[in-house]
Amino acid sequence: MTNKKIRIVSTKKLQPNQKQFLLNADFSLVEADFIQIEFHPFQLNSTFDYLIFTSQNAVLSVLKNENNTFLKDKICFCVGIKTKQLLEENGFNVENSFDYADDLVAYLLKNHSDKKYTFFSGNLRRDTIPEAFKINEVIFEEVEVYQTLLTPHKINSPVDGILFFSPSAVQSYVKENIISNEVCFCIGTTTANEIEKTTNKFVIANQPTVENVIIQTINYFNKT
């Protein structure tokens, strides 16, 4: 490792224990929330028996909805281990979780294509699930329950690495900053696809978690 202290930008504010990993590695850290989430009020009187959540934000929005208790009798499918944990901690029945929406869709089409689904989404969601369901004539309804807003920040000092946790954070970052020689660390392939429009210097986490993005960052810069 070089003598120069490695400077890292995180495009979301990290939890204290997550931040400590980088500080313990003697990295310098700048952090800011490059996106903000606004939860939508929505009417929810009934749903289909199978529910889909592709983010923790969708779960949090549904939990804020007063009329959500009947949902706990439904079967859930989700994207992300943290999404699964949040659902189960709040009494939801999760049959299966996946790292990516593509994997979730493939599983549902193979095993449950005859079922009907309620998909809780955000305004910037990818088309993966709706398109696959429409093509395969799977019955579903979509309820938009939150909105992602870009909140760009100008980073004025040089940095060595940038941590990205969503495609929208990439879009927000490049509104105010130019990526040149920095190495970008991405939580998953969807985020990497977005960063690839700007640079080919990126590393994808082995698992789509914040902690693994941090581990990949430390390992990268500790290589001799």
pLDDT score recorded for residue 2: 47
pLDDT of 85 strictly over 50 = yes
Which one is predicted more confidently, 126 or 89?
A: 89
pLDDT of 3 strictly over 80 = no
Beta strand extents in 82-201 (DSSP E only)? 93-98, 117-122, 140-150, 161-164, 183-186
pLDDT digits (tens, 9 = 90+) for 43-84: 888 889 899 999 999 999 999 987 777 888 999 999 999 999
Q: What is the 3-state secondary structure (H, E, C) of 28-46?
A: EEEECCCEEEEECCCCCCC
pTM: 0.86
Provide the percentage of residues in the chain whose pLDDT is more than 90. Answer: 85
